[in-house]
Amino acid sequence: MAENNHNYTHRSLIEKFKHNAADQSGFITDDDTWSDEFLIREFLDLRTLLTKELISAGKTVSTHMMQTLGCVKVKEEDRSSCPCSVPSGCYWLRSEKPIPSFIKLSSVSSTIVHGDMIRFSPIFWDKLQYIPNSRSNFAKKSKYWTTRDTGEGTYLYLYGDRDLEEVQVTGIFENPMEVAMYPSCGKVDEKSLCFPLDVDFHTDRDMIPKIMELAYQKLISVRSSAKEDIKNNDNSRV
């Protein structure tokens, strides 16, 4: 996919969609089907769908879709929660708060005092159990990151280092607003909090026409179904 640095905010996408919809339908309706909140949900769902299709097809995803959580606070977690066979009382690290839902994480890292970058390698949660008994010393000494949905959100876990206080996480997230409003070391970006529609949508411009097209088709279908339901309800009263 071609790289394009044109930035669309959530607000500008809504305006673009409504303008395009007016060109196709002749008017812009104010009913709930076309509410800003509904449109944003559709745009985000389609962005996620199209991005996953690109990744599955092995195609390049625009770097503009990447976002970084600059300061994710981590704390010690009893190793008994780890799928690996380690006695309780040993520790690893877990993010203090759930991280935003993501499509793909590309890196988890931290800079220590001497300026050396600590990079963690990805590993599936259920594969951690094999690390302590691995025949490879390199594998045993490596540092890993994984995630787990605890039912209260998706947490980031770090294996192989217990001295860190925060890390930075880069990837493609499902909702750019959630990333913009994520508390970076406890601080929230007030501008994003007060004006969420002005947050960058973080997508490649080449993807926008497809998002607009599919969203319009979906909303026309929703409206048609609603009209059919009303018609059927009216007929049932006859």
CA distance 105 to 67: 10
CB 93 within 8 A of CB 158: yes
Task: Round to whole Å and give the CA distance between 236 and 234.
Answer: 5
In a domain, 78, yes or no: yes
Q: Residue 98: pLDDT band by 50, 70, 90 thresholds? A: very high
Q: What are the tens digits of pLDDT across the range 130-181?
A: 887 777 877 778 899 999 998 999 999 998 888 899 999 999 999 999 999 9
Question: 146 in a domain, yes or no?
Answer: yes
Q: Is the pTM of this model over 0.75?
A: yes
Residue 107 lies in a domain: yes
Cα–Cα dist 132/78, whole Å: 16
Query: Is 6 part of any domain?
Result: no
Count of domains for the chain: 1
Residue 198 domain-assigned (yes or no): no
54 falls within a domain: no
Q: Domain for residue 220, yes or no?
A: no
Q: End-to-end alpha-carbon separation of the chain, Å? A: 55
Q: Which of 10-24, 55-69, 98-112, 143-157 has the lowest mean pLDDT?
A: 10-24
Report the alpha-carbon distance of residue 162 to residue 178 in Å, rounded. Answer: 27
CB 209 within 8 A of CB 47: no
117 belongs to a structural domain: yes
What size, in residues, is the chain?
238
Spatial contact of 118 and 111, defined as CB atoms under 8 Å apart = yes
pLDDT band, very low/low/confident/very high, at 94 (cuts 50, 70, 90) = very high
Q: Which domain holds residue 117?
A: 66-185
